[in-house]
């Protein structure tokens, strides 16, 4: 970290205000059961103390997080980080762990699967949520569109199923943040009762394995939300 004076010169005025308001602990802003829960799982695994605040209990969340989305992490020094992948990588670089490989080839594989989650699988579900809950359509068109989008999601689960044929977790024998996120997304199937999302046997086994990890259970307990296994 640069000396304090340089650090403050680097910050914008708003950033400075947040920095001065630092609480001395990490605060995770969440919508329980959403992608922000994956960050809670990671915080549990890293043993980093944090408090949870539900986005909907913050009077003007959008003035702090312009996208109005979760997750957002307010660090000990008051700085806000948004975007799940950026938060995860910040935490992994700051706190000792074995998830972020030192070897550049292995690290690139981790980045690849982390982005498969955040940039491919998550938005594929996002399109389903938009059709199901945000966009006005006739029942018939809605059902048909949802099934088409669900087929696209199923094809992504099939990619993971293939990878998991010979691996316990996505990167190998040990769970990483890529596994936590995939398992969190899988519970979103519960939001689409009349739409068929296919998951292969390897994916199902994998989700059960991730869901039984202590850090995973601890995060869901802390968020007071049930992990929905949909198979």
Ligand X SMILES: N[C@@H](CCC(=O)N[C@@H](CS)C(=O)NCC(=O)O)C(=O)O
- Residues binding ligand X (CB under 6 A): 31, 34-35, 68-71, 83-84, 118, 126
And the tokens for 66?
Answer: 């312009």
Give 149-168 as a 3 state SS string: HHHHHHHHHHHHHHHCCCCC
Report the C-alpha gap between 98 and 209 in whole angstroms.
19
> Closest separation between CB of residue 1 and ligand X, Å?
25
CB of 71 or CB of 175, closer to ligand X? 71
Question: At its nearest, how many Å lie between ligand X and the CB of residue 126?
Answer: 6
Taking the least distance from each CB to ligand X, the nearer of 63 and 68 is: 68
Q: How far is the CB of 147 from ligand X (least distance, A)?
A: 22
CA distance 77 to 43: 17
Coil vs helix vs strand at 22: coil
Apex 63 CA angle, 62 and 68, nearest 5: 15
Tokens 């959403």 correspond to: 34
Coil, strand, or helix at residue 177? helix
Q: Which is nearer to ligand X, 70 or 150 (CB)?
A: 70
Kindly state the smallest distance separating residue 177's Cβ from ligand X, in Å.
Answer: 12
Q: How far is the CB of 89 from ligand X (least distance, A)?
A: 12
CB closer to ligand X, 10 vs 135: 135
How far is Cα 195 from Cα 173, in angstroms, rounded to an integer?
33
| Shorter beta-carbon distance to ligand X: residue 36 or 202 | 36
In angstroms, what is the minimal distance from the CB of 119 to ligand X? 8
* Residue 26 in tokens: 């990490």
Yes or no: say if 41 and 184 are a contact pair by the CB < 8 Å rule. yes
Nearer to ligand X, 84 or 175 (CB): 84
In whole angstroms, the minimum distance from the beta carbon of 48 to ligand X comes to 18
Tokens of 225: 């939300």
Q: Strand, coil or helix: what is 50?
A: strand
Question: For residues 134 and 175, is the Cβ–Cβ distance under 8 A?
Answer: no
User: Based on CB atoms, which residue is closest to ligand X, 35 or 150?
Assistant: 35
Contact 107, 98 (CB under 8 A): no
């Amino acid at each position: 970290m640069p000396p304090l004076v340089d650090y403050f010169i680097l910050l914008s005025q708003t950033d400075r205000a947040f920095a001065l308001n630092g609480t001395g602990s990490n605060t995770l802003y969440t919508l329980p059961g959403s992608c922000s829960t994956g960050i809670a799982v990671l915080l549990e695994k890293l043993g980093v103390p944090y408090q949870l605040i539900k986005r909907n209990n913050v009077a003007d969340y959008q003035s702090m997080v312009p996208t109005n989305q979760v997750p957002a992490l307010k660090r000990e020094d008051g700085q806000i980080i948004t975007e799940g992948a950026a938060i995860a990588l910040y935490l992994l670089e700051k706190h000792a762990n074995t998830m972020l490989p030192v070897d550049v080839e292995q690290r690139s594989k981790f980045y690849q699967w982390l982005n498969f989650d955040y940039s491919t699988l998550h938005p594929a579900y996002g399109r389903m949520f938009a059709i199901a809950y945000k966009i006005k359509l006739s029942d018939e068109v809605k059902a048909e569109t949802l099934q088409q989008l669900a087929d696209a999601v199923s094809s992504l689960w099939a990619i993971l199923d293939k990878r998991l044929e010979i691996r316990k977790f996505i990167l190998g024998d040990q769970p990483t943040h890529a596994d936590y996120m995939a398992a969190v997304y899988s519970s979103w199937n519960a939001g689409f009762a009349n739409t068929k999302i296919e998951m292969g046997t390897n994916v199902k086994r994998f989700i059960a394995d991730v869901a039984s990890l202590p850090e995973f259970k601890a995060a869901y307990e802390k968020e007071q939300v049930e992990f929905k296994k949909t198979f």
